[in-house]
Structure 1
């Protein structure tokens, strides 16, 4: 039997400003501003202000099982936006090689990465970071770069672009494990416990 409606709430922390208009959300925080469209999800998104604290409420009317699954997806999207504008996201990408050392050269503007000597090839691979994402060398670890930004989708896709440039072709990938792999996913600013 179908329920009339089902809802999920997400609490908004102090210092975060949320604007909603026609399922387009703008969230401002100490690290900047993020905007996302959730028009493809058929649901109500409401901002509820109360003395106990503001909340975002996601509501699905007459939803089936698969339609109700969108509720937690939308909540996760908004939670990641709030986490991004407060802490930021950081992916650590490490170069792994057996014989030929992979050289990763970060451009001066930290918007692109140049990969040289992959499997001893002369070809130079260029990776441009997505909007709002920067890349830099890791000072604590050799052969590792840090991909950082506020939007988790752009940061993770930039890390995937780096990994995708170093795929081994026409060889047994069980034997040739060279490449650049995401080693750790964390936040830029550490959470106080």
Structure 2
């Protein structure tokens, strides 16, 4: 019942984690990227942990457990997006053409994403866990809303990772995708 929600959440988080690019950049752009990425890394970890929390309760969790895990995860993700917005704001204007607009748009969209996740938390908190059918239907609605929220966050990240800034961020360890252990698979032979 929670698989759609997990899939939608994972899709948005994947783009957040995909700050990527390649190439050589001047030191001002590299310094800017380092400033942002050093602040982003702990937030990416929080998003990953929140995804894991949702995933771990999705398969066989009781409605109360799913509601609690989703609510806490959405709160954590909302805070992470807000912190990323603050990091972009505090880093200042990127030293690239149209840097002021890039920064302003990214901050605005990251803030909107943080607010949208807070709204998703409120929606989850209102779900009735005593009625299985209503609970499942409510989760479906939240999964649909989550798809919309992810698009806004994705746009913000795409703007930040474009051009010289994206290339510089790709070189920073703080903006690289956290590694996760692959799931072991059992084979019978």
Give the alignment's TM-score, normalised by structure 2.
Answer: 0.25
Give the alignment's TM-score, normalised by structure 1.
Answer: 0.25
Q: Please state which structure has a larger fraction of its residues in helix.
A: 2
Pair member with larger Rg = 1
